[in-house]
């Protein structure tokens, strides 16, 4: 993990709001929430985005929107509608505006103006600290000018640990290896080194070739042939999508015993959603069971009930709700309730999948707390759960299970 770096912060913020605006949203009296562990997230942008780029981080689409029809160098061109007009966009204005000294549900234009006025460093610090997240497990495999785990920890006054993305590790090795033998050696050494320093691994095999992969580890000769073929045809900076090499990476990670996070469910248009149902992993899950390596199914939506089933019947399978609660917004409680139908309570983990915008950490945290409060209050109120059980389950999901799983 990179050592903590210096994140630029302005010496004073313009038009400082009351101190209460800088505090986290008030916590409910029941259930009580410990500091959260975000078990899957990404870095925050170093520079503030323009409107088009900002809206691009409110959607999984490649084409962000903007009312002016122009582009500010963000993630794509504009569309004739706004991604502020989504569950996530509404949640940003509801929960983040007060932390910046604005009224909840202020106009998007007012929100972005205030954001620019305060400056990136001030906004990032306020929103990260307001989320009530004490530990971050950071997938460092995404590109862009993002804060390192060390800088994220410094800015949030929390702790941060690296999760190594397998595909990015292999792609970096391919960039420098002189031949196939050297490439496979660099991959093996990279995984060994990561196992000494990181808290886990992450795979986006769902994006690259789908989750319906052969469950067994590929033989050495087949791995060498696939690597040779990929390296000989790969363009500079090309992505790994070979199914044999993906299986090789998955099994190398499984053998380390560290938690392996697997993207499942919805994401950007690079994936085929019907190829991302976690139930497609059933044979792989069964094959890895003797190793006991924790497999953490990320996001899962709209297949979250199937993910809950897998967590219920396989001891080494866990599930999280990642970007799901943020994108379902006012309906987050309904999705969380469905996850809690079958998922053993000690096998469900909080995460935000925040990427780029510090707003996404706060929104993910607050929607989880709001949904959990609504559900536990209802279930305790009708006698289905006891208060002490509700407190215990909340603590496990909020961070207790993640601390145990990742050795925090």
236-267 confidence digits (pLDDT tens)? 899 999 999 999 999 999 999 999 999 999 99
The ranges assigned to domains in the chain are 34-406
Q: Phi and psi of 263, rounded to 5°?
A: -65, 130
pLDDT at 307: 98
Only one residue has tokens 């145990």, namely: 404
pTM, rounded to two decimals: 0.90
pLDDT at 101 over 80: yes
Q: 34-406: which CATH topology?
A: TIM Barrel (3.20.20)
Least confident of 28-42, 146-160, 204-218, 391-405: 28-42
Q: What does the pLDDT read at residue 30? A: 75
Instruction: Band the pLDDT of 63: cuts 50, 70, 90.
Output: low
Q: Is residue 71 pLDDT above 70, yes or no?
A: no
pLDDT confidence of residue 26 = 67
Residue indicated by tokens 């002189």: 178
Positions of E strands within 275-383? 295-299, 317-320, 348-349
Closest CA relative to residue 173, chosen from 191, 155, 200: 191
Rounded to an integer, what distance in angstroms lies between the CA atom of residue 177 and that of residue 185?
9
Ranges of beta strands (E only) in 150-243 are 159-165, 200-203
pLDDT band, very low/low/confident/very high, at 24 (cuts 50, 70, 90): low
- The CA distances from residue 281 to 125, 212, 308, 314, in Å, are 39, 6, 13, 12
pLDDT above 70 as % of the chain: 89
The pLDDT of residue 7 is 35
Is 329's pLDDT higher than 70? yes
- Is it the case that residue 392 has pLDDT exceeding 80? yes
Cα–Cα dist 94/116, whole Å: 18
d(CA 96, CA 93): 6
Query: What pLDDT is recorded for position 28?
Result: 64
**Collapsed DSSP state (helix, strand, coil) of residue 113:** helix
Residues of the chain above pLDDT 90, percent: 86
With CA atoms as reference, report the closest residue to 298 among 70, 40, 17, 34. Answer: 40
């Amino acid at each position: 993990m990179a050592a903590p770096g210096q994140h630029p912060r302005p010496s004073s913020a313009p038009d400082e709001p009351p101190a209460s605006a800088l505090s986290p949203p008030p916590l409910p009296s029941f259930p009580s929430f410990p500091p959260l562990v975000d078990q899957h997230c990404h870095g925050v942008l170093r520079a503030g985005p323009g409107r088009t780029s900002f809206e691009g981080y409110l959607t999984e689409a490649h084409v962000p929107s903007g009312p002016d029809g122009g582009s500010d160098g963000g993630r794509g061109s504009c569309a004739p509608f706004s991604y502020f007009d989504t569950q996530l966009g509404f949640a940003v204005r509801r929960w983040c505006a007060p932390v910046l000294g604005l009224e909840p549900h202020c106009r998007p234009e007012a929100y972005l103006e205030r954001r620019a006025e305060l400056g990136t460093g001030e906004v990032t610090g306020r929103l990260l600290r307001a989320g009530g997240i004490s530990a971050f497990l950071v997938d460092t495999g995404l590109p862009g000018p993002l804060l390192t785990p060390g800088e994220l920890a410094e800015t949030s006054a929390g702790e941060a640990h690296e999760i190594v993305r397998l595909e990015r590790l292999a792609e970096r090795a391919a960039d420098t290896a002189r031949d196939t033998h050297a490439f496979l050696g660099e991959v093996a050494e990279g995984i060994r080194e990561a196992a000494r320093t990181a808290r886990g691994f992450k795979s986006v095999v769902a994006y690259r070739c789908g989750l319906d992969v052969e469950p067994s580890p590929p033989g050495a000769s087949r791995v060498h042939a696939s690597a040779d073929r990929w390296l000989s045809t790969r363009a500079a900076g090309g992505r790994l999508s070979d199914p044999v090499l993906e299986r090789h990476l998955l099994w190398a990670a499984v053998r380390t015993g560290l938690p392996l996070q697997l993207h499942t469910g919805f994401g950007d248009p690079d994936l085929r959603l019907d190829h991302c149902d976690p139930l497609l992993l059933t044979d792989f899950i069964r094959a890895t069971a003797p190793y006991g390596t924790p497999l953490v199914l990320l996001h899962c939506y709209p297949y979250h009930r199937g993910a809950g089933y897998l967590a219920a019947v396989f001891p080494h399978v866990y599930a999280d709700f990642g970007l799901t609660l943020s994108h379902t917004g006012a309906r987050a409680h309904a999705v969380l309730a469905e996850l809690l139908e079958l998922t053993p309570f000690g096998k469900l983990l909080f995460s935000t999948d925040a990427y780029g915008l510090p707003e996404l950490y706060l929104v993910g945290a607050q929607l989880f707390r709001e949904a959990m409060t609504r559900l536990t209050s209802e279930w305790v109120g009708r006698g289905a759960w006891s208060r002490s059980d509700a407190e215990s389950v909340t603590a496990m999901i909020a961070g207790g299970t993640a601390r145990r799983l990742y050795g925090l």
